[in-house]
Amino acid sequence: MRFLVIISLVIWLGSCGNEAANKEILDAQAIHKMNRALIEISMEDIFSPPVATRVFAYPNLISYDIYLHGRGQSILSDITAGQIKPVFNDTLNIDYSFAAMEGYYNIAKKLVFSEHLADEIIEDLRLAVDSLGMSSSRKQQSIDYGKKISDQMINWIDADGYAGVKADDFYTIRGHDSTWVLTPPNYEQALEPNWKNLRPIFLKNVADYQPKARPAFSTDPISDFYKEAHKVYVQFSENSDQERSIAKHWDCNPNEFIQKGHTMQFNHRISPPGHWLGIAKALADTRDVNLGKALKAYASITTAMFDGVIACWHTKYTDELIRPVTYINRYIDETWKPFIQTPPFPEYTSGHSVVSGCSSSILNEMYPNTAFVDYTEVEFGLPSRSFTSVYEAGEEASLSRYYGGIHYRFGVDNGLVQGRNIGQYILKQFSKYE
């Protein structure tokens, strides 16, 4: 089992403050620990990157929304046209910091397979608030309020189309020279071909956030497309140690396939969305932010990544573009292999670039010109990386897919812009609630 984070009573106590009259009992460490635990559960349950965006988005959105109720505001009431109804009166005995974590737990438990691991998190938290002296009536009313709001959200979540998307995941290979086919090393079936049909949280129409046109497919050596594929081929042999290190740092393959002789091994690691949650925490730690700002950061980047991946998958499974490894093997060098493993879905645009564009554009607005160290991959045996800004990190994350040989340069560049545009739109929606 990869549930590496055990949130003990002692840790919870260290992240809480003493309860005064109507004072919030939890600080930002509470949501940091909830998200870290959910990352561990997502690795345990082996969620793909698209599914991970959904698993992270809904719990973080409900926790921030419940926290805003204490200030007389609700995002979810507005975007669900009143399906989710907050209560703004008779709530003096509710601790919204605690109720927000209860809401997070209720939604997270619904979305994961390892429900018992979610139970462990909330049990520790409840013991902690007992030890801090929270009255039993205040504790229970906060628990009840978190459940009341999250139960309403569950009904809304159930209508997002996920069941249909997962039930009808068959994909037909088109068979054209330009279109995607299964790729080595293990020739997996297309991943989430119907994810584009999922209901976004904020985007009204994902078609409004499509990238500019890519070079037209061609096998002619003088064509722009051939030249772009040849750049990938040449880049592989010219990669510096630094560029290879960048490719590995941002690989974020949640289910890496490794073949050695006649043996096969799968390594479970953090996904790109999980990596960006880690960066959000690293940035928060540089400023010692309060709970409200931490909740907003997590809610905004996770909903942006969720909507961004839906838009990206709309592009991918509409364009259905061939991956570099297939093109290069057919038309340039049949023995060529990319530096990192090619994921099982069409090339254009880069999903990692979209996710990185979404997250970095939002976090750059919230933490401008903030240097930080990214330790996310240290637990997987890779060194940390330092950045002068989160914007720089987003650009590097996007470019890593080109260094890794799994994307054309236009796929990562246009994907990054696509993600930034979505991130800026999502941040504007959240900025209405301050």
Tell me the percentage of the chain whose pLDDT exceeds 90: 83
Residues 6+ positions from 34 with CB-CB distance below 8 Å: 59, 63, 101, 104, 105, 108, 121
pLDDT digit string, tens, across residues 142-151: 999 999 999 9
pLDDT digit string, tens, across residues 397-410: 999 999 999 999 99
Q: What share of the chain is helix, strand, coil (3-state, %, to 5)?
A: 55, 5, 40
Residues 6+ positions from 330 with CB-CB distance below 8 Å: 219
Q: Give 255's pLDDT tier (boundaries 50, 70, 90).
A: low
Compare 390 and 128 and report the one with higher pLDDT: 390
What is the mean predicted confidence (pLDDT) over 185-209?
95
Per-residue model confidence (pLDDT) at position 121: 87
CA distances in angstroms from 15 to 11, 29, 129, 196, 336, listed in the order given = 7, 5, 11, 39, 51
Residue 37 pLDDT > 50, yes or no? yes
Per-residue model confidence (pLDDT) at position 312: 98
Q: Is the Cβ–Cβ distance between 43 and 114 less than 8 Å?
A: no
Residue 20 pLDDT > 90, yes or no? no
Per-residue model confidence (pLDDT) at position 23: 77
What is the mean predicted confidence (pLDDT) over 19-44?
87
Compare 268 and 430 and report the one with higher pLDDT: 430
Residue 256: which H helix or E strand, with range?
A: strand 256-260
Q: Give 265's pLDDT tier (boundaries 50, 70, 90).
A: low
Per-residue model confidence (pLDDT) at position 266: 55
Residue 7 pLDDT > 60, yes or no? no
Residue 186 pLDDT > 50, yes or no? yes
Helices (H), 320-349: 324-331
Per-residue model confidence (pLDDT) at position 256: 59
Per-residue model confidence (pLDDT) at position 2: 38
> Is the Cα torsion angle 78, 84, 87, 91 positive or negative in sign?
negative
Q: Give 48's pLDDT tier (boundaries 50, 70, 90).
A: very high
pLDDT digit string, tens, across residues 154-166: 999 999 999 999 9
Residue 267 pLDDT > 60, yes or no? yes
Q: Find the distance separating the first CA and the last CA of the chain, reported in whole Å.
A: 40
Residue 375 pLDDT > 70, yes or no? yes
Cβ-count burial 125-164 (b if 16+ within 10 Å, e if not): bbebbeeeebeeebbebbbebbebbbebbeebbeebebee
Q: How many C-beta neighbours within 10 Å does residue 9 have?
A: 15
Query: Mean of the per-residue pLDDT values for the chain?
Result: 91
Checking phi first, is residue 337 left (phi over 0); if not, alpha (psi -120 to 50) or beta?
Answer: beta
Q: Is the Cβ–Cβ distance between 252 and 339 less than 8 Å?
A: no
Residue 350 pLDDT > 50, yes or no? yes
pLDDT digit string, tens, across residues 121-141: 899 999 989 988 899 999 999
> Which residues make beta-bridge pairs with 386?
373
Distance CA 186, CA 256 (A): 10
What is the mean predicted confidence (pLDDT) over 303-332?
98
> Is the overall model pTM greater than 0.85, yes or no?
yes
Q: Give 9's pLDDT tier (boundaries 50, 70, 90).
A: very low
Q: Is the Cβ–Cβ distance between 84 and 152 less than 8 Å?
A: yes
Residue 17 pLDDT > 60, yes or no? no
Residue 420 pLDDT > 50, yes or no? yes
Domains of the chain in sequence order: 9-160 (1.10.606.20), 171-430 (1.10.606.20)
Tell me the percentage of the chain whose pLDDT exceeds 70: 91
Q: How many C-beta neighbours within 10 Å does residue 175 have?
A: 7
Q: Is the Cβ–Cβ distance between 139 and 129 less than 8 Å?
A: yes
Residue 341 pLDDT > 50, yes or no? yes
